Every structure is written in structure tokens, then in C-alpha cells.
Structure 1
Amino acid sequence: MAGGWWLRDRVEGVVPVHTSRRVAGALVRGPQVRLGVVAPWGEHESVAVDHVPAATGYRLDLDALPFPSPTVRRAVARVPGSKAPALRGTFESSMPGLYSTGSLGRRCSGR
């Protein structure tokens, strides 16, 4: 989940989260929306929901930057399951003195 770190406890285990799905269709039925979704392995699902927050598929990727050097990029610890740098609450990476802000800085661990 790429939302604010402070939201994690309010979502995980509380709200069902379906990742890596492609929305194939949507139908409004009163106060709900019935979504037709397709999983990466091809399975079709129908889900009735009250709200539809949808991600665009944008992924943070430190390796996509032309800087820093490949040696530095390889040395920076990443957020598990991501190519975004793991950052402390001060926006410092695992490499002392290397900080990240902007979109790459939004995955701060808060520590």
C-alpha cells in the first residue's frame, strides 16, 4: 500500500484491499458499485463496493533515475516489494548523507 504510513493500521486487516487487478467494468447499483475485475492470472471477479479508490499503476523506481550512479543506486535499501528507497523519518536513505524528497520521499517509514 502506498498511502501515508500513518494510515496502515487503519486499513490493513480492516478494509479488504485487492491489488494487481484490472477494472474491466463498473455498474452503479443504488449506493453501491459492482466492479468487474480481472486478476493478473486471468481470473474474473465481481465485487460490490461502496467506494472505489483506484491506483494508476504508477510505481516509484529509484533505478529509473539517471542519477545517482549505478553503484549508489545498488547500495540503497528499498521498501520491501518496491523499487522506492527505504527512508527514515528524516528522508535519509540507508546510505548516510543521501536524502530523497518529492515522489521518492513519500514512502518514508516514519522512523
Structure 2
Amino acid sequence: MSTSAEAFRAPRAVVPPGERGATRIADRVVAKIASQAAREALGAPPPDGRPPHATVVVRHAAARVRVHVELDYPCDIGARCRAVRRQVAERVGTLVGMEVPEVAVEVERLQLSPAHGAAHGRTR
């Protein structure tokens, strides 16, 4: 008579993949990934600027993302926003496996770069 644990183990039932459960990724986790992707696209924030932050709404495996950024000025605002949209959609899609039909970039503030500060501003 065998006293090993295998002798007392019940046979394992095979559960079909569709019945094993589901993985749910919280909106705040997707928002953190989107924020990091925006930082990757923009690089360091302007002096006295805040790093990008994101808000996300996830419905039916699709993430709608809104990213808030501060940019240095002068810059090509459209190109910088395109880079953020592209990077956020790619990273969220790759890391989380969600479709990203919308990435809205909101420029909250333009920071005058130190090189263009007093020399190009108004004087009295």
C-alpha cells in the first residue's frame, strides 16, 4: 500500500479555458501605463513643470485615454501631441492588450523656455 500523497489526490478535472475566469485590469493601472508612455514620448518636463498624468475609462476591453501635459515653448505643439498619442496607444495596447480607440492630449500649460525668456518677452 502506497502512503504517498499521490495515492490520496483526487483526479483533476479539466476546466475549459472559457470557464476559468477573467483578468480585469483596473483603470488606474492603465492610467499609470499611459502616464509613463507620455513621459517616454516627451522626455523631461519643462523647468517648474509637472510630468504628464492620465485619466482612463475602460469599457469592453477598450481604453479611452486623456493625457494632461505641460510643454516647453516654443515647440511644435502638434508634433509633440502626435508623439504622445502614438506612444500611449502603442504601449497600452502592447502591455495591457486593450484596444485604444481614443487618446486625447490636453496641453495644460506652455512653459517659456529659459533661452527665450527675458530676451524675447515684453519690456517696459
The TM-score by the shorter chain falls in which range? under 0.3
Higher gyration radius (CA): 2
Between Structure 1 and Structure 2, the one with more strand by share is 2
Higher relative contact order (CA 8 A, sep 6+): 2
Q: Structure 1 length as normaliser, TM-score?
A: 0.27
Between Structure 1 and Structure 2, the one with more helix by share is 2
